[in-house]
Amino acid sequence: MSLHTLKVSSQTNSILAARKKPYENRFKNFKNLTGIAMRATAIESIETIIVDLPTIRPHKLAMHTMQNQTLVIIRVRCADGFEGLGESTTIGGLAYGNESPESIKTNIDRHFAPLLLGQDASNINAAMLRLERSIRGNTFAKSGIETALLDAQGKRLGLPVSELLGGRVRDALPVAWTLASGDTAKDIAEAEQMLDLRRHRIFKLKIGAGEVNHDLAHVIAIKKALGDRASVRVDVNQAWDEAVALRACRILGSNGIDLIEQPISRNNRAGMARLNLMSPAPIMADESIECVEDAFNLAREGAASVFALKIAKNGGPRAVLRTAAIAEAAGIGLYGGTMLEGGLGTMASAHAFITLNKLAWDTELFGPLLLTEDVLGEPLIYRDFELHVPQTPGLGLNLDEERLAFFRRDKSSTVVHQV
């Protein structure tokens, strides 16, 4: 073999070794400070940070009026130097669901972290199954952890999270805006402004907290003002009983309302099925879906024509795609929902949603636009009625450390480390 051949062979092997290194490192062990062997991609620490951020206006729902938004930011640091970011966010403390920002932080610190520290961060499936075996429920917390693991793995492999979830079929998502001031004139003016800015042409109205006839008049007036320039939907957040819902759904459907979200209690699946048969406008299930199994039962019973997909309520981006698969198999339409997350949670949802073959009812990933402040280095890109999803590794986002330090509730850091 000539010297030239040896040189080329050596260079080729060096290039191949460099390319293989991220994958090979996963299977190499090293010893921590106590001398215990660990994988190079082991989870070294998990940090949870509660952040309180101001909003542009009060946001009125049937069960709660938001004056600000609280996020739980999750940082998972790995032995190979990669850090994954996640977010767990709910609405109004315990007003919406079974988890609050405080319980999310406490449970991750005390129960999730001991199960995950030292585990292989690159094997997301094994890590999440480990949590599932020991922790019931807590889907909001699980979603934030899974997001952080996906972000770290995407950075490790140089791939966007969407490619880890099967591959994107689009680069942007149409986004609805929620009109929730409760004042008809203000809501119309706000909708007109959004149309002029080319930011939104889908509007969802939060109703149910007021008297039903007043709410119906409010919605119909807004639809008449916007006409065919925009799609108008309503979200009742379970506020009506079945008798009221039957009459209200007929009135809304006959006045051009495109979609009616969760008109009655999540526990009344038989009532949802009856409404779904009788309403001229499609019925969408939201609160009725608190896990993947709920989606299966709703599909089996014909209780909704559309499913709202929320990563937080399913347990993460991978889990929400299982709910989507059930819906697609049953011929149920899909809508990309939100828990009014900040940028990290919103982008985690977006990476999942852009892998779906059909998203007939678009999305409502407007959470960051409701905030006057955020903790990201760069804002998300909303343009021409759509949210644009980056193709950079991981979620494609980073934190602004100074802003994070300013808005964090607890100014001292609490990090759970591998011992």
Each residue's pLDDT expressed in tens, for the chain with a length of 419 residues: 443 433 333 333 433 333 344 444 444 555 444 444 568 899 999 999 999 999 987 766 655 666 789 999 999 999 999 999 999 999 877 777 789 999 999 999 999 999 999 999 999 999 999 999 999 999 999 999 999 999 999 999 999 999 999 999 999 999 999 998 889 999 999 999 999 999 999 999 999 989 999 999 999 999 999 999 999 999 999 999 999 999 999 999 999 999 999 999 999 999 999 999 999 999 999 999 999 999 999 999 999 999 999 999 999 999 999 999 999 999 999 999 999 999 999 999 999 999 999 999 999 999 999 999 999 999 999 999 999 999 999 999 999 999 999 999 997 666 777 65
pLDDT in the model for residue 68:
86
- What residues act catalytically? 206, 364
Using an 8 Å Cβ cutoff, are 317 and 146 in contact? Answer: yes
Report d(CA 340, CA 89) in Å as an integer: 7
Instruction: Return the pLDDT at 355.
Output: 98
224 phi and psi, to 5 degrees? -65, -40
> For the stretch 295-311, what's the b/e string if a residue is b when 16 or more beta carbons lie within 10 angstroms of its beta carbon?
bbebbeeebbbbbbbbb
The per-residue pLDDT for 419 is 53
Residue bearing tokens 């690159």: 122
Task: Count Cβ neighbours within 10 Å for each residue of 343-368 and write b for 16 or more, e otherwise.
Answer: bbbbbbbbbbbbbbeebebbbbbbbb
Residue 60: the pLDDT is: 65
User: What span, in angstroms and rounded, lies between the C-alpha atoms of 256 and 254?
Assistant: 6
Give the span between the Cα atoms of 313 and 323, in whole angstroms: 11
pLDDT at 416: 72
Cα(170)–Cα(162) distance, integer angstroms: 10
State the Cα–Cα distance between residues 312 and 104, nearest whole angstrom. Answer: 12
Structure tokens of 296? 């299966």
Q: Which two tokens stand for residue 183?
A: 């004042």
CA separation for the pair 234, 227 (Å, rounded): 15
Residue ranges and CATH numbers for the domains of the chain are: 38-158+401-417 (3.30.390.10), 164-388 (3.20.20.120)
Q: What pLDDT shows up at residue 92?
A: 74
- Across 3-82, where does the E strand assignment appear? 29-31, 37-39, 43-60, 65-78
